[in-house]
Each structure stands twice: as C-alpha cells, then as structure tokens.
C-alpha cells in the first residue's frame, strides 16, 4: 500500500480519545500550516482558525458539538475520552462571504497531518454556532464553518463495504466502529 493510501485509510472519523494526551499549540500551528498551503478558490484564503487546547477552553467548545447522529444510544464521548484540542474554522466575511469548498480541503489537510503525527479526530459540522460564537467571544464578521475535534484516538474504526446501499456507520459489541463505504464500481459512471 502506498503512503497516501495508508494515510487516507487511517484517517477515519475518531470520536473517543485518550484525554490525558494533550496536543500543543505548536502542533496545531503545524497542522494549520498544511491548510494554509492547500488550494483556495480565487486564492482568496478567507478561512481563519481558532485554537483550543486547554481543559478550560475545551470545556467551552464541547457542549456545542453533536456526535455521531447514527449512533442513537450514544450522545458523545464521556469525560476522560473527550478531544484534547479543537480547531474552529471560520470564514472571514470581511474578505469574502463565499469560501466555496476551501473548508473541506483545508479540513482534510489538517486531518491527514494529524493522523501522520499519531493523532486523529472528527470534522464536526453539527455545531451550535450561535452559542459557540458567544462562548468564545467571536466577533460577528467571523462565521463559524465547522469544528475539528482532535486527540489521540482510543477507538478502532474499520472500513466496510456497503450492503444494499446502507451507509449508516455502527458500533459492534466490542465497541469497534464500522464505516460502510460504497464500492468503487458504484461511483464510476460509464456513460
């Protein structure tokens, strides 16, 4: 397997972490530098980042995130298994109010960098944006796009093939998380 295949396979959405393993500000800056070097529509580079990596600030972020919608009997990581850092991605509307798909590219760059460093995490789009904006005193011209939750993963995530088109991820009795991916031939349109 090539390095890029290995990295992308390992870069799963992780939602439980060793909370005692912290991530430094320097590490977060290295990850954001990967986003900085990533493609940007019109090269406008409107996305800004807020770093959180202390227990006090992390506690302001966590209550505003929703976890794993398909796992109906799980409301999110317990204390001790929560992310040790967050990167909040915001659009700087003073530059331009459209960030096209820069956010996804930047997020993937950060996540791949995190995995390469032995961390992992989850892109969280389900965010209480108004509450989080208030909790962190974020000025109104910055619009929260999404939050990257990061830490040292404490769970196993296994890639599966979809069965009958069922894309819902699930957790088995050993607490292993399974992610169904559609097979390649389903994605290719031979038109």
Site string for ligand FMN, 164-183 (x = CB under 6 A): -----x---------x----
Work out the burial of residue 87: count CB atoms within 10 Å of its CB; fewer than 13 is exposed, 13-18 middle, 19 or more buried.
Answer: buried
Residue 157 engages ligand FMN in binding (rule: CB under 6 A): yes
Provide the β-strand partners of residue 157: 177
* Contact pick of 28, 61, 87, 124 for ligand FMN (by CB under 6 A): 124
Q: Please, which of residues 68-107 interact with ligand FMN by CB under 6 A?
A: 68
Cα distance from N-terminal residue to C-terminal residue, the chain: 30
Closest CA to 122 of 4, 32, 12: 12
Number of residues that bind ligand FMN (CB under 6 A): 14
**Percent helix, strand, coil in the chain (nearest 5)?**
30, 25, 45
Q: Closest approach of Cβ 181 to ligand FMN, in Å? A: 7
State which residue, 35 or 124, has the beta carbon closest to ligand FMN: 124
Binding residues vs ligand FMN (CB under 6 A): 12-13, 15, 66-68, 122-126, 157, 169, 179
């Amino acid at each position: 397997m090539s390095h890029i295949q290995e990295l992308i396979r390992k870069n799963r959405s992780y939602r439980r972490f060793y909370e005692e393993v912290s991530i430094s500000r320097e590490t977060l800056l290295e990850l954001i530098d990967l986003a900085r070097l990533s493609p940007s529509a019109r090269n406008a580079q409107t996305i800004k980042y807020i770093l959180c990596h202390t227990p006090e600030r992390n506690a302001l972020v966590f209550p505003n995130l929703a976890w794993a919608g398909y796992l109906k009997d799980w409301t999110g990581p317990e204390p001790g298994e929560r992310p040790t850092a967050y990167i909040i991605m915001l659009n700087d509307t003073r530059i331009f109010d459209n960030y096209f798909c820069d956010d996804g590219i930047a997020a993937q760059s950060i996540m791949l960098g995190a995995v390469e460093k032995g961390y992992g995490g989850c892109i969280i789009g389900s965010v209480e944006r108004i509450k989080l904006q208030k909790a962190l005193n974020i000025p109104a011209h910055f619009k929260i796009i999404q939050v990257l939750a990061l830490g040292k993963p404490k769970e196993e995530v296994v890639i599966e093939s979809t069965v009958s088109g069922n894309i819902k991820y699930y957790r088995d009795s050993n607490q292993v998380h399974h992610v169904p991916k559609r097979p390649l031939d389903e994605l290719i349109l031979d038109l």
